[in-house]
A and B are shown apart, each in its own frame.
Chain A
Amino acid sequence: MKRMVIYTCLSAGLLVSVCFSLALGAMRIPLKEVIDTLTHNMGFTVFGGTDHGINEGIIMMIRLPRTLMGMLVGAALGISGAAIQGIFRNPLAEPSLVGISAGASLMAVLIIAFETLLFSSLSQVLGYYLLAFGAFAGAGLTAMLVYNLSKVNGQANVSTMLLAGIAINAMAGALTGLVTYLADEQKLRSITFWMMGSLGGATWQNVSCLFPFVLIPVIGLPFLSRGLNLFAIGESQVELIGLNPNRIKIWVVVLATMAVGASVAVSGIIGFIGLLIPHLTRLLGGVDHRFVLPVSALMGALVLTLADMVSRLIVQPIELPIGVVTALMGTPIFLYILIKDKKKLVN
C-alpha cells in the first residue's frame, strides 16, 4: 500500500516538474501558450491555436527535447546506480565510481575525434547511434576490465573492484582530457561538457537515439530483481537456490552500461544521481529490488529534470553545468544520510 502511494506521488511529481520545465526558461512564455503549443502539435486545439512563431519553436524544439533528455538520462542513471549497487553488494558503488562513465566518455571522445576520418558520409542520426553504441561498448569494456582486475583467487572481491574502478576511472578521465585538449576543440566539446555534463545540446535527433538505449534497461533490469536480492545474502546462495549468478551478473552489467554509456554520449558525465537516488529510494520503501529498481528510475527522472531547471534558471543568461547542480544538491543529502545511518551503510 505504502509503495502504491510512493509510485503515485513520484509520478505526479514528475508530471508537475515536466510542466514547469516546459513553461520556464529565459524566454517568457505564458502557460496558456505552452499548453496550446503542446496540444496543437498533438493534433487538437484547446485555447486558440498557436502563432507558429518563435515561442512554438522554443517549446517544441528546445525545451521539449531537453526535458525528455533530462527524464531519460535521470532514469538511466538512477536505475543503473541501483543495479550496480546490488551486484556489488555495496551502497557506495556508482557508475562513475567504478569507471563505467569514464570509459563511455573516452570511447565517445575517440569516436568523435576520428569521425571525419572514418564516417564522413554517415547521416546525423546514424552518427548518434554509432556514438551511443560506441559509448556503450566503452562502458562495457571498462566494466569487464575492472571486473578482471579485481579477481582474487578467481573470485571478484568487492573492495578490490571498487579500487580498480577508481584507478580505471582516473586513467580514462585523464585520457579523455588529453584527447579533448590535443584535438580539434570544436568537435569534441569542452572538457567541462564531458566532466560536468550538460543537457543543452538536446535535439530530437539525439533524444530519439537515446530512447531505446534507456527504455530497454529500464524495462529489463527489474526482471533481474530476484537475482539482485539474492546477491545481497551471498553470491553462492544464488546458485544454490536455482538461479544462474553469472547470467544475472552479465545481464546487469550489459543493461546498466547500455543506459549509462548512451547517456554519457549525449550529455556528458553527470555524477551523484546514480549514487544518491537508490539511497533515497531504499529509505522510502525498503531494499527489495523489485521496488528499488523501477522507483530509482522514476525518481532519477524527477530529480534530474528539477536539477536541469535549476541549472537553466539560476544564473541567466548562461547555464550552470548540470554536474555542478547535482553535486550541490547531492552532497548535503549524502552527508546527512552518512551521519544518520552510519551503521546501515557498513557491511
Chain B
Amino acid sequence: MLRVESISYKLNNRPLLKDISFSIRPGEIVALLGSNGAGKSTLMRLLSGERKPDTGRIMLYGEDLAAYNRKILAAKRAYLQQHNPISMAFTVREVVMMGRYGFKSRSSAKNDQMALRETMELCGLTDLADRSMLSLSGGEQQRVHLARVLAQLWDNKDAVLLLDEPTNNMDLQFQHQTLAIAAAMAKKGYMIIVVLHEVNLAAQYASRIIILKDGRKWWDGTPVQVLTPQHIYTAFGIHAQAYTDQSSLKTVIVPKEIKLDAAKFNSNLQVLHQPVYKLKTTETDELINLQSVKI
C-alpha cells in the first residue's frame, strides 16, 4: 500500500507540485500522464524517496518513506529514471548485475545469477550480454536499465516499481513488451507507477490513470473515466476523440490531425504578387485572338 498524503514540493521557490494525494494498492498499475513540465518526474522522485516533500508525507507499507532504512527500501522499491547516462564501458551483464548490489550476503549469489538470467531473457538481452553499453542504441540501453531495475526486485513478491518514461527510444515491440511485463508483475502483487507520453499505451495497459497539470492532480480514475475529449484538451491542448474498442473494450484516443500552412508561419514562404496570364477571346467568328492581358 502506497499512500501519498498532501505532498507539495518547491525548487528554488518555484512550486513544482501542489497538494497531491492518492493511494495505490497492490495489483494496480497506474499511468501518470501530463504535458511537459506538469510535474510527473518530480512526483516520481518523491515517490522513490530520492527527494523529500516539503509538506505532507508518503507512506509505504505503513511506514513513512523518509524513515525507511536505505537497504530495506531498496528491496521494496525500484526506480527506473528517465535518463541513465553511462560514462564507462560496462557490459550489459555488469549493469544488470548492479541492480543486485544492495544484497551482499553470500547465500544470495545463486539468486543473483537467477535474477540476472531471467531478467535479461525477459528483456531480450541474452545475445547482448557481453556487449559494451556504449555500443548499444538508446532503446537497447533502456532495456538494460529495465532489466537492472527488475533484477533489483526479483526476489520479492510485493514491491513498488516506478518507471519514468520507460518506453522512450524503444521500438514498437518493446514498448508493448515493457508494459506487458509491468502488467504481469502487477497481477502478482506489485504496485506499478509508470509515466507515459503515449496515451493509448496507457489506456491499454494501465488500470488507472492520473493526469497532472501545473503541479496539481486533475483527474484520477479508470481510463474510461479520465480519458475524455474535454479532459484531454484541458490537459494537453489537443483535440481528440475517444472510442471504446469493441474487441478489447479498452479506450482508444484518436487525436485530430493538425493541418498547418507553411506560408502562414514562415514569412520566407509567403505568396507574393505574381503575373498571371489569362486567355481572352474576341466577339468575331474569325480566329480566336489570343491576347495576353495582365490581370
Contacts and interface: CB of A to CB of B under 8 A. Distances in A.
- Physical contact A–B (CB less than 8 Å): yes
A236 interface: yes
Contacts of B75: 242
Interface core residue of A90, A232, A282 (most chain B CB under 10 Å): A232
Contact of A288 (B48, B50, B79, B90): B90
Interface residues of B, number: 28
Interface stretch (B2-10, B55-63, B66-74, B111-119): B66-74
Contacts of A232: 86-88, 90
A243 interface: yes
Contact of A240 (B74, B85, B87, B88): B74
A288 B98 contact: no
B175 interface: no
A339 interface: no
Nearest to A290: B94
Interface in B238-269: none
Given A226-B101, A242-B73, A234 B81 contact: yes
Interface in B38-61: 48-50
A239 B88 contact: no
A196 B202 CA distance: 63
Contacts of B152: 241
A344 interface: yes
A239 B71 CA distance: 9
A11 to B, nearest CB: 25
Contact of B70 (A234, A242, A288, A347): A242
Interface string A150-178: 00000000000000000000000000000
A133 B85 CA distance: 38
Contact of A239 (B50, B85, B99): B50
A233 B101 contact: no
Contacts of B89: 282, 286-287, 344
Contact of B102 (A91, A242, A282, A344): A242
A232 B250 CA distance: 41
A40 interface: no
A287 B90 contact: yes
Contact of A233 (B73, B74, B98, B102): B98
A19 B240 CA distance: 80
B70 A233 contact: no
A232 B86 CA distance: 6
The 5 nearest A-B residue pairs measured at CB: A242-B102, A242-B74, A287-B88, A242-B71, A232-B88
